[in-house]
């Protein structure tokens, strides 16, 4: 097997017959669309770095079963070293793209499905583990990008899936056939679906027996008949149509989300990994969420590294780098960012094997990691905006900068320190705007809040994993309390 190059990846996505809609119209060539292309470039980086010898140890892994070198995004974690390298790889990619590189959900789905299907088979004698390993080997052999899809629209949050007025608010099985199943519904907020070859579907929450039609997991190619995508808007996304590499802030990389609709999609029997085993939905959700919450201790830290660097450059260009309060703010930003990294490494180092043999992170620490990610990036952004100054959001456009009449005035009055061009000052401010306000970018502030589940979802898991009874016993022992 040969690892794909970035260019081979681009052409493989171009060859897909995806049904993509944006602004009420079908996008005939998503690969070439100026709004969508930066997100594709972010995924391409996961292929480009895997080709570089200096990054081989982080970006790739050798499958112990076959001896084959794989892109780490398609690898099963075999030990705590793999879990730690995953986080380090994600930090590297965050540093290289300053955006969401989109393959984490597939990697996390791979590892959650691997152990969960093993345990379903052990209880029920099903063949899901074999189905999944066959699918996994197919993706590994072709070096494919796989999207992991868990979030349903949910409708009325107070009602269970089976009790919704519209049963399609949660993706579900509508027909059981000898050769497979037919499903209908949608998956929301799907980062990277547009740039994936395959999509793994998982239930979005713990199911009860009455919800067994919704306890379904499977994988299909993203261009399967009946699947179409409606692209979500981003703040200032149409700036990408203006031809200004400065005004978009991050001209090369970005992310994109989609509402992925499944309109009576057929799933072959050998692509099914769960079909009605509602009692395992909780295990799958918790494991996937745990892996994905670990991911944020890497990817958001790498993006944070770029934002801290941009804020430090803004201080240099503004002539404020020596101010004590600016130095203190940069220290605080670094402290918060490295704390997130500590959490990602800690939950990885404390990982343990599952019954299937692959390794899972410490679930409590993974949820603590993500809980911190819902808070610290907001403070990092606040401090970056403080250092940058209001010109970050009031600066004229690149067209004004380059205009024969207006340009000289923009260059004159918006210059900072001598020796730094006005254009370079505006470029770094636009990058901060991009990362802080979501200007045509996805992957830092708001996604830090809602990605991998809401803050309350993590608090629920922290409550479950916190083991208060044991802590009470420790206190009783110290206090010599006998009951």
Q: What are the sequence ranges of the domains in the chain? A: 6-281, 283-473
**What value does the mean pLDDT of the chain take?**
96
6-281: which CATH number, 3.30.70.1230, 3.40.50.300, 1.10.10.10, 2.40.110.10? 2.40.110.10
Positive or negative, the CA dihedral 417, 421, 426, 428 is negative
**Residue 103 — pLDDT band, cuts 50, 70, 90?**
very high
Mean per-residue pLDDT, 67-93: 97
Q: How far apart are CA 433 and CA 170, in angstroms?
A: 36
Partnered with residue 230 across adjacent β-strands are 21, 259
pLDDT confidence of 95, banded at 50, 70, 90?
Answer: very high
Catalytic residue ranges: 100, 104, 191, 257, 292, 296, 299, 447
Q: At residue 90, does pLDDT exceed 80?
A: yes
For the record, the structure tokens of 310 come out as: 């941009």
Output the DSSP codes for 79-93: SHHHHHHHHHHHHHH
Q: Supply 163's token pair.
A: 């009790």
Helix ranges restricted to H, 3-75? 6-14, 37-48, 56-59
Quote the tokens at residue 263: 């309109």
CA neighbor of 109 nearest in space, from 13, 5, 192? 192
Mean pLDDT, rounded, for 117-145: 98
Going by pLDDT thresholds of 50, 70 and 90, the confidence category of residue 322 is very high
154 burial level (CB within 10 Å; 0-12, 13-18, 19+): middle
Q: Does residue 440 surpass a pLDDT of 70?
A: no
Q: What is the pLDDT at residue 441?
A: 60
Q: Strands 172-177, 258-268: parallel, antiparallel or unpaired by DSSP? A: unpaired
Give Cα separations from 470 to 197, 352, 464, 467, 479 (angstroms): 46, 20, 12, 6, 14
CA distance 155 to 284: 22
**Quick check: helix, strand or coil at residue 221?**
strand
SS3 assignment, position 272: strand
Range with the lowest mean pLDDT among 116-120, 234-238, 407-411? 234-238
Q: Which CATH architecture has domain 283-473?
A: Up-down Bundle (1.20)
- Overall pTM surpassing 0.85 (yes/no): yes
- Residue 442 clears pLDDT 70, i.e. is over it: no
| Strand, helix or coil for residue 247 | coil
Q: Residue 445: pLDDT band by 50, 70, 90 thresholds?
A: confident
**Which pLDDT tens digit goes with each residue over 151-188?**
999 999 999 999 999 999 999 999 999 999 999 999 99
Residue 135 has pLDDT above 90, yes or no: yes
User: pLDDT per residue over 203-227, tens digit each?
Assistant: 999 999 999 999 999 999 999 999 9
What is the pLDDT confidence band of residue 28, given thresholds at 50, 70 and 90?
A: very high
Query: Do residues 371 and 381 lie in contact, with contact meaning Cβ atoms separated by under 8 Å?
Result: no
pLDDT of residue 446: 80
Orientation of helix 363-373 relative to helix 376-388, angle to 10°: 30
- How many CB atoms within 10 Å of residue 472? 11
**Among residues of the chain, what percentage have pLDDT more than 90?**
94
């Amino acid at each position: 097997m040969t690892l794909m190059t970035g260019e081979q990846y681009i052409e493989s996505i171009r060859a897909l017959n995806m049904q993509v809609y944006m602004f009420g119209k079908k996008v005939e060539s998503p690969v070439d669309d100026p709004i969508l292309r930066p997100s594709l470039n972010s995924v391409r980086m996961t292929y480009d770095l895997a080709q570089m010898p200096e990054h081989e140890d982080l970006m790739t892994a050798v499958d112990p079963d076959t001896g084959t070198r794989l892109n780490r995004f398609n690898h099963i974690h075999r030990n705590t070293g793999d879990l730690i390298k995953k986080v380090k790889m994600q930090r590297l990619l965050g540093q290289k793209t300053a955006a969401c590189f989109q393959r984490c959900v597939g990697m996390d789905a791979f590892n959650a499905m691997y152990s969960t299907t093993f345990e379903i088979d052990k209880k029920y004698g099903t063949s899901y583990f074999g189905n999944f390993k066959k699918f996994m080997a197919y993706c590994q052999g072709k070096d494919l990008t796989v999207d992991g899809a868990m979030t349903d629209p949910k409708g009325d949050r107070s009602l269970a899936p089976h009790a919704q007025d519209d049963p399609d608010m949660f993706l579900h099985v509508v027909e059981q056939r000898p050769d497979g199943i037919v499903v209908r519904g949608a998956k929301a907020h799907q980062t990277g679906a547009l740039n994936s070859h395959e999509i793994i579907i998982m239930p979005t929450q713990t199911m009860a027996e009455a919800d067994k039609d919704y306890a379904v997991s499977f994988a299909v190619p993203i261009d399967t008949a009946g699947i179409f995508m409606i692209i979500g808007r981003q703040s200032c996304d149409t700036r990408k149509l203006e031809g200004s590499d400065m005004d978009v802030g991050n001209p090369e990389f970005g992310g994109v989300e989609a509402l992925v609709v499944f309109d009576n999609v057929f799933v072959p029997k050998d692509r099914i990994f769960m079909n009605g085993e509602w009692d395992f939905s909780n295990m799958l959700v918790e494991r996937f969420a745990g892996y994905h919450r670990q991911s944020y201790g890497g990817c958001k830290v790498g993006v944070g590294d770029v934002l801290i660097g941009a804020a430090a450059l803004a201080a240099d260009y503004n002539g404020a780098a020596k101010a004590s309060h600016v130095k203190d703010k940069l220290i605080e930003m670094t402290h918060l960012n490295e704390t997130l990294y500590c959490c990602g490494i800690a939950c990885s180092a404390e990982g343990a094997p599952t019954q299937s043999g692959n390794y899972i992170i410490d679930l409590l620490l993974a949820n603590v990691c993500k809980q911190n990610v819902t808070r610290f990036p907001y403070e990092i952004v606040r401090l970056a905006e403080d250092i940058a100054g209001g010109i970050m959001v009031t600066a004229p456009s690149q067209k004004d900068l380059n205009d024969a009449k207006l340009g000289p005035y923009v260059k004159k009055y918006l210059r900072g320190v001598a020796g730094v061009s006005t254009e370079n000052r505006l470029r770094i401010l636009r990058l901060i705007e991009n990362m802080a306000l979501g200007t045509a970018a996805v992957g830092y502030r708001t996604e830090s809040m809602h990605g991998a589940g809401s803050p309350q979802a993590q608090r629920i898991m922290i409550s479950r994993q916190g083991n208060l009874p044991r802590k009470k016993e420790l206190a009783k022992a110290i206090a010599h309390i006998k009951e």
